[in-house]
Amino acid sequence: MKRFYFVLFFAGVMILLVSPGCSKELPASGSGINTVTNHPPPPPPNRPPVALAGPDFTGTLYSNDMKLRGHAYDQDMDNTLTTNWTQIAGAPCTIVSPQSRTTVVTNLLVGEYQFELLARDNHGATNTDKIVVKINSIEPITSPVNIFNLSWTCPMGCSIPIYNIYSHIPPNAPIRVFIKFVNSAIWHEAVPMSQYSPSNSIYYEIDTENSIWLYTDVDVNINVDVRILF
């Protein structure tokens, strides 16, 4: 009888072991481990360039041209920039090199102008800046420039310098130069050196430092007055 119960017990255990409802699968080797993949961060967004047209300017119309001096830079330091000047207000004029950051504007008249500098990077981002230019007329000159009692004491070929002549007259203004010897009432006109001839004993030139040099072909030992008309 004991043997019978033992057989039944053994059979029951075997049934439990092979029953499908009680089976348990082991996880596959390596499963259940989280895998993390590192991706590089996205590049920062492209920032537009910066255009600088320069400070507003007020000047006098000594000539009909002026220079625009613009600047541009890339905030990201890795783009290629192009620039372009355009006129947005004022009388018609000519921008000589509109794609250059520094350029000359010609055919100006008295009045107010506005110019715009555009900067563009190789991604198409743009930025603009404006400059206002006011051109005034030349104030009328009612009297000449007189420089009195200059000492001209030297042998033939000596000269009298008048330094920084454009502190007395407008830049590049056409001039006529006269000399009067002290105790004389006669003004002698000096001719430009380019027009020198033996018949002209007094002549002048303007050097690269904007000084007038007066020359003579005769010996002098006297003080003179100089008058400049423009």
pLDDT of residue 152: 75
Question: Is the pLDDT assigned to residue 216 strictly greater than 60?
Answer: yes
Mean pLDDT value of segment 31-58? 83
Q: Is residue 25 in a domain?
A: no
Q: Is residue 37 in a domain?
A: no
Q: What span, in angstroms and rounded, lies between the C-alpha atoms of 165 and 113?
A: 30
Number of C-beta neighbours around residue 124 at 10 A: 8
Q: What span, in angstroms and rounded, lies between the C-alpha atoms of 135 and 86?
A: 18
Asked which of 136, 155, 177 is the last residue of a domain, the reply is 136
Number of structural domains in the chain:
2
Q: Is residue 188 in a domain?
A: yes
Q: Domain range for residue 95?
A: 50-136
User: Per DSSP, which regions of 35-109 are E strands?
Assistant: 50-52, 57-60, 66-69, 71-73, 82-89, 94-95, 102-106
For 62-80, write each residue's pLDDT tens digit: 557 788 989 999 998 888 9
Specify whether 184 is located in the same domain as 132. Answer: no
Q: Is residue 18 in a domain?
A: no
For 91-122, write each residue's pLDDT tens digit: 999 999 999 999 989 888 889 999 999 999 99
Q: Is residue 112 in a domain?
A: yes
Mean pLDDT value of segment 1-13? 48
Q: Is residue 92 in a domain?
A: yes
Residue 73 contacts by C-beta under 8 Å, 6 or more apart in sequence? Answer: 49, 50, 81
Q: pLDDT class for 2, splitting at 50, 70, 90?
A: very low
Identity (one letter) of the amino acid at 152? Answer: W
Q: Report DSSP state, residue 222.
A: E
